[in-house]
Amino acid sequence: MARELDVIVIGWGKGGKTLAGTLARAGWRVAIVEQSEKMYGGTCINIACVPTKILIHDAEQHRGNGADADYFNTAVERRDELTAKMRQKNFSMLDDLDSVLVLTGRASFTGAHSIKVEGGDEVVELSAPKIVVNTGAVPAIPPIKGAEISGRIHDSTTLQHAELPKKLVVVGGGYVGLEFASMFAQFGSEVSVLDRGERALKQEDEDIAAEVVSVLNDAGVTIITSASVTSLSQDAHSATVTYDRNGEEHQLHADAVLLALGRTPNTAPLKLENTAVQLGDKGEIKVDKYLATDAEGIYALGDVIGGAQFTYTSLDDNRILKDKFLGEGKRNLEDRVAVPSTMFVTPPLARVGLNEDQARAQGLDIKVATKKVADIAAMPRPKIVGDPRGIIKFVVERKTDQILGAALMHVDSQEVINLVAMAMRAGINASTLRDSIFTHPSSTEALNDVLGSFK
């Protein structure tokens, strides 16, 4: 007989674990299911945001010192130690609550309000009027001959524990691909990136993309555009990537290959066919603006619903469901504006809102301010820490002086972008931000300079 609860949360990601804890403290009987004890706390702290940024930080300290397998292995050990501590802390935060049932195993739906959890030889049946799916996403494996994660061919998870490659080929020029390219180049690998687009970072304005490419080139990364991979192969000594470029076949040989072609919502194991939940074209769970699926009582949040796959948007999804279950039920996805993002190349590229191309395509009357970081006299911090590279760009509506978007590529940009995003959400105009008082020396004070140079 199935154990009855008030809510079941499937998946221990940021939104799910936070919601589970909140509901438990409110007196609900909660079950949280995680498929692996190595994933308590979710993707971010175990295999993505936190561990990769540890490695990126240590790579930045090593920049220019050449390949050193021992140094890399020490960085991996530090990564593992910190993620283990965070994983245990995340587990305790829920397991220590009396009203939370923690289960480790693979969950699948057996009906509209019931699931089974299979872990080892044990099968546990649960039922609840509310079930929240928070199973995240997994690396996408392209339909390319030889594209399987084994041996010398990796995804973003397995490469973190591979031997430091002398030569690395990255298939895919998106955020993950370029972050790993930047990181391994600084660890001393010879890195080539194969990008299908006609130019790198085609979603960015050309001047911003060019700055990123220049920085990556300086680090030793070669970016090959208009490259369509047709096959991969490997033996005990190396891997080979065959690709087509402008009708000509080429090959690259490497010690390791990273497949970085996005992430796919992790829905396959759930047996959603036993419910009325509907999936979108990319396998994502379809939800309304309140995160409700087509099945009464079943909700979804985080990466599994598609769209921007960020830990902090998953946390905000939790706020929507918290309001739905414990509040007035008014908060929804349409409340979410000016959501920033950061690509952790070195220095990082952070952005929010519209870029110049998008604003002009919408017919908006805009003014634009752009400056290279090295040319900003009122921004000494990047020079102090020895990395004055990068560029800052703002797009502002001419008549209202409201900030429409910004791209910041410089030391500390992942912090400064949050201030810009908050200003956008609060309706603070560019002139007010320009004339604000910021600490010195800081990267934030670049706003005093750049926001006074519109054209």
Instruction: Show pLDDT as tens, one digit a residue, over the chain (455 residues).
Output: 689 999 999 999 999 999 999 999 999 999 999 999 999 999 999 999 999 999 999 999 999 999 999 999 999 999 999 999 999 999 999 999 999 999 999 999 999 999 999 997 899 999 999 999 999 999 999 999 999 999 999 999 999 999 999 999 999 999 999 999 999 999 999 999 999 999 999 999 999 999 999 999 999 999 999 999 999 999 999 999 999 999 999 999 999 999 999 999 999 999 999 999 999 999 999 999 999 999 999 999 999 999 989 999 999 999 999 999 999 999 999 999 999 999 999 999 999 999 999 999 999 999 999 999 999 999 999 999 999 999 999 999 999 999 999 999 999 999 999 999 999 999 999 999 999 999 999 999 999 999 999 98
* d(C-alpha 146, C-alpha 149), whole Å: 9
Annotation says 154 is catalytic: no
Can you state the percent helix, strand and coil of the chain, rounding each to 5?
35, 25, 40
CB half-sphere exposure, 138, CA atoms < 13 A: 13
Q: Beginning with the edge strand found earlier in the chain, give each strand of the sheet holding 3-4 in spatial order.
A: 3-4, 122-127, 114-119, 106-111
Name 300's bridge partners.
133
Tokens, residue 66: 């050449």
* pTM (2 d.p.): 0.96
- Mind giving me the DSSP string for 120-164? TTEEEEEE-SEEEE---EEE---S-BT--SBTTEE-TTGGGGS--
Q: What is the number of other CB atoms lying within 10 angstroms of the CB of residue 134?
A: 32
Q: Which residue has the tokens 């791209």?
A: 407
Q: At 92, which helix (H) or strand (E)?
A: helix 69-95
3-state SS string over 188-252? CCEEEEECCCCCCCCCCCHHHHHHHHHHHHHHCEEEECCEEEEEEEECCCCEEEEEEECCEEEEE
Residue type, 245: R
227-263 as b/e, with b when 16 or more CB fall inside 10 Å?
A: bebeebebeeebbbbbbeeeeeeeebebbbbbbbbbb
48 within 8 A of 156, measured Cβ to Cβ: yes
pLDDT for 2 equals 81
Which is catalytic among the residues 113, 237, 410, 440?
440
Q: CA distances (Å), 109 to each of 114, 120, 125, 280, 391, in order? A: 6, 18, 10, 18, 49
329 within 8 A of 290, measured Cβ to Cβ: yes
Selection from 30, 455, 393 nearest residue 209 by Cα: 393
pLDDT for 455 equals 81
Residue type, 317: D
Q: Which residues contact 355 (CB under 8 A, 6 or more apart)?
A: 203, 204, 205, 208, 393, 395, 405, 407
* d(C-alpha 225, C-alpha 401), whole Å: 37
Q: CA distances (Å), 155 to each of 108, 148, 161, 421, in order? A: 25, 9, 11, 32
Q: Which residue has the tokens 């009987």?
A: 29
- Through-space distance between the first and last CA atoms of the chain, rounded to whole angstroms: 70
* d(C-alpha 147, C-alpha 228), whole Å: 13
DSSP conformation class of 98: T
* d(C-alpha 423, C-alpha 292), whole Å: 31
